[in-house]
């Protein structure tokens, strides 16, 4: 089962790099914010799978919890900043 | 026998999550503009992550780890929808025009539809 989890983590990482390419390409700021949000979610899943592979996941799950909350805070902060500063295209 | 059934469920939910991740990535790469990209990003990503979390919950069994994984899933469900709404609103208010076919207006103007 450990090898299956590692293979799943590798597949999710390939997806994350494709999303990162879209974030580098995206024409507006909001495209980049969406892409970074998706990359954060996929990184969270990779972290959880790797935690379960290396064992003792109860120690490490706090890191995943904090990562989820940081993802939320970053996205909300950047979108509020863009909304109030009125910069359309970047 | 029970071990095999449990492993089969773990593999099933993990492959479901990977399928939705791949669908979200294809949607992100193929969609023409920002407002259509919000659709695969917020929905497919949440469902894929929650499926893989469900597989990990089955793998971990019923313990304290399950509670933390459920907390991660709860915050993920809460944050993804809120982030999608916030990004869409900031894009609309800062003047990003939705994608439309050449020669077709994105929405009727105020003179045509008062």
pLDDT tens string B4-54:
999 999 999 999 999 999 999 999 999 888 889 998 888 888 999 999 999
Q: CA nearest A48: which of A14, A84, A81, A6?
A: A6
Q: Which chain A residues contact residue B89 at CB under 8 A?
A: 79, 83
Give a yes or no: residue B103 inside a domain: no
Q: Which residues of A touch B10 (CB under 8 A)?
A: 1, 4
**B110 belongs to a structural domain:** no
Kindly state whether residue B112 falls inside one of the protein's structural domains: no
Give residue for tokens 């700021």.
Answer: A29
pTM of the predicted protein model: 0.86
Contact A44 B25 (CB under 8 A): no
Confirm or reject contact between B68 and chain A (CB < 8 A).
yes
For residue B22, tell me if it sits in a domain: yes
Domain enclosing residue B12, as ranges: 2-94
Query: Residue A90 has what pLDDT?
Result: 44
Number of domains in chain B: 1
| pLDDT single digits (tens) B6-19 | 999 999 999 999 99
The per-residue pLDDT for B108 is 64
């Amino acid at each position: 089962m450990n090898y299956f989890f590692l293979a799943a983590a590798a597949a999710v990482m390939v997806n994350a790099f494709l999303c990162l390419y879209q974030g580098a390409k995206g024409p507006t700021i909001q495209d980049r914010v969406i892409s970074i949000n998706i990359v954060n979610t996929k990184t969270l899943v990779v972290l959880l799978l790797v935690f379960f592979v290396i064992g003792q996941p109860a120690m490490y799950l706090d890191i995943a919890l904090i990562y989820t909350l940081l993802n939320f805070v970053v996205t909300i902060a950047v979108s509020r900043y863009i909304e109030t500063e009125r910069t359309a295209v970047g | 026998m029970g071990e095999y059934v449990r492993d089969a469920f773990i593999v099933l939910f993990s492959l479901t999550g990977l399928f939705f991740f791949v669908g979200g990535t294809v949607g992100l790469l193929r969609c023409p503009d920002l407002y259509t990209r919000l659709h695969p990003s917020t929905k497919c990503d949440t469902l894929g992550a929650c499926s893989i979390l469900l597989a990990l919950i089955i793998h971990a069994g019923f313990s304290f780890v399950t509670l933390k994984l459920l907390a991660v899933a709860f915050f993920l469900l809460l944050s993804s929808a809120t982030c999608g709404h916030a990004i869409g609103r900031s894009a609309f208010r800062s003047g990003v025009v939705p994608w439309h076919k050449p020669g077709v207006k994105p929405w009727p103007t105020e003179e045509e539809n008062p």
